[in-house]
Chains A and B, each alone.
Chain A
């Protein structure tokens, strides 16, 4: 009986370690990218890659989804929201900006920038950031934070 109990305990411990590893989610320390990984216990999941930085007026960044395995009828959606109401700020100075996905400007919170339907393994969108028709009145660094939300609906 003790052997059986010990074996069960050992198995439980081993399994718990596996679960902990698979629960690693966003690696913000990696260079310029953050990877969101989720794994369902029943074997379904997805990997969404969101870069850590974008420069206004600079090169496009790519938001991508890979290894998408979700239930039929569901859709993986990546939406975006701005912390500063779509303005980059330097102290009190604020400059309005917008994202562009190549087809339309994005400057409203909770706008879905990427959708991947069930049955599709990957998806991506390239985003650029551009200032609205405004000019700065002082030199320095202006910033905003965009929060990307990944959801399966």
Chain B
């Protein structure tokens, strides 16, 4: 029994002493502890319009810089003679200071996009010598700077994602309370809509609803919109329709047109284009087809994928709304919209005039011309302001037959009277 107790005591003593010996061994040698070194960087992208330039202080020829979180970037702006800087557009989590021609981005906490643009005249960019601009808010200067100045197209644009009818420069797209503008480049009048943007656009659109893209309030003209086909698939699933406000037209695709577009697209993206056509660009056949009509305006409307036109106009409806004001002294009845085919023949397009816009349905990817006709008996009936009229042979023959019948009756009555006399 004593032996057992002795062994137990020995074991216990060893077990108790073990950690102490290890500790002592450690203490007599080394102990270690780790520390994490970190730095978070953010990208600052700067886009600049025409009629001026900028430099990032401390950087050479940089349109984008990477900076540590919390740091500052100073941008010196140099408008050309006769121009001044407009209120800059800023996206991202940052404090913006504006003084003369110097923009200070302070305490940068996210990627930042800064858009600098210029206007004619020497108007101040903001309402004072020094201002703090808050991303997500309207930072436009008060006063009439915008209305009187001839604006120069900027390099970037925003789109209306919150449906308030205004192109948004700074908006909170992910609902985190921080402005994170959907800024995208426009190159040669083309706006490329990414799947990400489409996702955000469709986020709050109900089934069978309309996805709206407004480009018409931007300073830069957008003539072409490139859309990802994958997003069209999702639109088709939810039977969504599309509405674009371009410059200057509006174009709407119903759900059937969207579905057809998705089915026929042989590529990753489709391009919807409305391009103003210079009358001199029309070939002889097309010019001859218009004949003596005065050409007011001509547009090329196309939907294509990988350079191939996609015809969706039979399966679905593509409607164009073109702002139009008749010339002084003339009435809307004197104007027509004609489809001018590549071969030349023209075809009148059913058109209504509604709220200052000519509204017509696109029949094919072609040139559409607005012409002024010379009034005469051979001219088809003009469209009125509320409904369209079909110019058929029957509609022209009816009055002629009626007049003929009246003449015959009058002749017979006249002859009978003479016989009686």
Contacts and interface: CB of A to CB of B under 8 A. Distances in A.
Interface in B17-47: 19-20, 22-24, 26-43
B19 A19 contact: yes
A1 to B, nearest CB: 8
B68 interface: yes
Contacts of A141: 38-41
Given A8-B9, A19-B19, A88 B39 contact: yes
Contact of B12 (A9, A150, A151): A9
Contacts of B30: 149-151
Given A20-B19, A135-B65, A38 B37 contact: no
Interface residues of A, number: 56
A147 B41 contact: no
A97 B27 contact: no
B39 A34 contact: no
A125 interface: no
A104 interface: no
A75 interface: no
Nearest to A97: B37
A12 interface: yes
A138 B43 CA distance: 7
B16 interface: yes
B9 A88 contact: no
A120 interface: no
The interface centre, meaning the residue of B16, B20, B31, B34 with most chain A CB atoms within 10 A of its CB, is B31
Given A38-B27, A139-B111, A145-B34, A131 B19 contact: no
A16 B36 contact: no
Given A9-B9, A38-B31, A56-B68, A145 B37 contact: yes
Interface string A133-153: 001111111111111111110
A34 B33 contact: yes
Contacts of A55: 37-39
Contacts of A52: 34-36
A71 B367 CA distance: 96
A19 B5 CA distance: 23
Nearest to B23: A23
B394 interface: no
B410 interface: no
B363 to A, nearest CB: 49
B66 A139 contact: yes
Given A5-B9, A25-B31, A140 B38 contact: no
Interface of A: 5, 8-9, 12-13, 15-16, 19-20, 22-23, 25-26, 34, 36, 38-41, 45, 48, 50-58, 61, 82, 88, 90, 95, 97, 129, 131, 135-152
Interface of B: 5, 8-9, 12-13, 15-16, 19-20, 22-24, 26-43, 65-68, 70-71, 111
